[in-house]
Amino acid sequence: MQLGQVNDQKLKEVKQACEEEGQDGINYSYIMDTKKVERQRKQSIDTSIFHFETDKFQITIIDTPGDTQYTKNMMTGICLADAAILMISSAADEFEKGFGKDGQTKDFILHSYALGIKQMVVCINKMDDSKYSFCQKRFNEIKKEVKQQFEKINFNLQNIKFIPISAFLGDNLLEKSPNMPWYNSFTFLQALDNLIPVIRQNEGDFRLPVSYAFLVGEDTQVITGKVEQGILKANRAICFAPFLGKSENKFDIIQIEIQNKQVDEAVCGENVGFSIKNLNLNDLTKGSICGYTGENQPRECETFDAEMVIINHPGSIKRGYRPMFCIHQAFVACEFIDILSKVERKTAQQISNKPEYIKNGEAAVVRVRPTKPLCVEKFSQCPPLGRFIVRDMNTIVAIGIIKDLVYKQ
């Protein structure tokens, strides 16, 4: 809003929606929460995207839901991001609720770390709350607790910026707030401009996990996602894995778009959309990987060896355990078919061979078999497709990386 990059038409639409619902004033969350059900429930459900520019960067904001019901959608958004912005309410009882056992704040931090986020801007919002009213003590209390959570997972604290803000009033967004003279560091905009650009893997084999696929017109399919490795070029032949169809798994790229502008190529890190023809959308699964056809095209795996740290499980984990693996855009139940070794958490040196079980706090290398078609990569070859989170009973059980894999013949 303060940057002037929300146009008048959008503001008019949001104001009209608020008036129809009998709200006083304007609800700025409607700019990102565009679906009727999101506005009715007053919460984000799906991811939404908004673009804006600063003096230094072109920035894509990916708004993700914070409610535990929509964890998969939150993870989809994190997978598309290079850095994270964590919004924490400082209002009375709201921080405690979000940071408590049933809250989502700790999960968001851990998900971000496990999925490769290395930089984070933590905004302590609602500093204008009537109970605390821009209170430095309240800011410091929240900062201390959140900082301890980052320390537990070895997140580099130098890559985190804590900013007290009032998003509704605009305090510390673009300019320093006169209401918080005790704060003398970055504004929100300055924090964004001080993010370090991520080093891209433009040299590797092209890989793009499919975020969404939909039909345009009668015979054109549009695929969207983030280029995780390599370069996407027009007029190249692509394929998908997993691919459930019986027809030829080969398609020509017709057109590539970035932010609704047609381009000839998209480099690693870009969120793109591209169009093809003759694809049956039912032949793709959530988490299908797009790549060029040829010797190094993406392929389904039979098994993979996962190095993981168990962080939250009530008992012993043995062979036959079948939790949910969350890998890039894919969410697939996988079976532990063998526990190959226990390893030292920091050095990955082997401690014991073929243990009977593993438990909280231990690290191990486990051989895993997906129960449904799945495409992954070794972490050493393509880090974004080689990281995973293990979930069970709505809880993060383990995080880790893929060390090796066997392709399906």
Residues 150 and 99 in one domain: yes
Residues 306 and 334 in one domain: yes
Domain coverage including residue 41:
8-193
Domain count, the chain: 3
Cα 246 to Cα 243, 302, 309, distances in angstroms: 9, 19, 39
**For position 168, what pLDDT does the model report?**
84
Give the bridge partners for 194, in sequence order: none
For residue 121, pLDDT over 60 is answered with yes
Residues 305 and 288 in one domain: no
Q: What is the pLDDT of residues 173-232, one digit of tens each?
A: 999 999 999 999 999 999 999 999 888 878 889 999 998 899 988 889 999 999 999 999
Domain boundary among 244, 267, 292: 292
**For position 33, what pLDDT does the model report?**
59
Domain boundary among 273, 292, 311: 292
Residues 282 and 328 in one domain: no
Residue 262 confidence class, pLDDT cut points 50, 70, 90: very high
198 domain-assigned: no
393 domain-assigned: yes
For residue 347, pLDDT over 90 is answered with no
Percentage helix, strand, coil for the chain under 3-state DSSP, each rounded to 5: 20, 35, 45
How far apart CA 43 and CA 30 sit, in angstroms, is 10
Bridging pattern class, strands 84-89 and 120-125: parallel
Q: What is the pLDDT of residues 352-408, one digit of tens each?
A: 999 999 999 999 999 999 999 999 999 999 999 999 999 998 889 999 999 999 999
265 domain-assigned: yes
Residues 224 and 359 in one domain: no
Assign residue 284 the CATH number of its domain: 2.40.30.10
**Structure tokens that stand for 92 in this block:** 């009375």
Give the bridge partners for 232, in sequence order: 266
**Mean pLDDT to the nearest integer, 39-59:** 74
Domain boundary among 162, 193, 224: 193
**For position 188, what pLDDT does the model report?**
94
**For position 51, what pLDDT does the model report?**
80
How far apart CA 365 and CA 373 sit, in angstroms, is 22
3 domain-assigned: no
**For position 104, what pLDDT does the model report?**
83
- Predicted TM-score of the model (pTM): 0.84
Q: What is the pLDDT of residues 103-112, one digit of tens each?
A: 788 888 999 9
Q: What is the pLDDT of residues 55-92, one digit of tens each?
A: 898 888 888 776 666 677 778 888 888 999 999 999 98
Return the H-helix or E-strand segment holding 397: strand 395-407
Cα 19 to Cα 24, 27, 213, distances in angstroms: 7, 10, 34
The values of phi and psi at residue 90, to 5°, are -95, 0
Cα 308–Cα 66–Cα 167 angle in degrees, nearest 5: 125
Q: How many other C-beta atoms are found inside a 10 Å radius of the C-beta of residue 235?
A: 10
Query: Any idea which of 53-57, 146-150, 298-302 has the lowest mean pLDDT?
Result: 53-57
Residues 6+ apart with CB under 8 A from 130: none
Chain Cα centroid distance, residue 342: 29
Assign residue 37 the CATH number of its domain: 3.40.50.300
Sign of the alpha-carbon dihedral angle for 21, 27, 28, 33: negative
Residues 388 and 244 in one domain: no
Write down the mean pLDDT value for the chain: 88
Residue in the structure block whose two tokens are 């430095």 = 136
Residues 258 and 231 in one domain: yes
For residue 34, pLDDT over 70 is answered with no
Report the length, in residues, of the chain.
Answer: 409
**Mean pLDDT to the nearest integer, 146-167:** 94
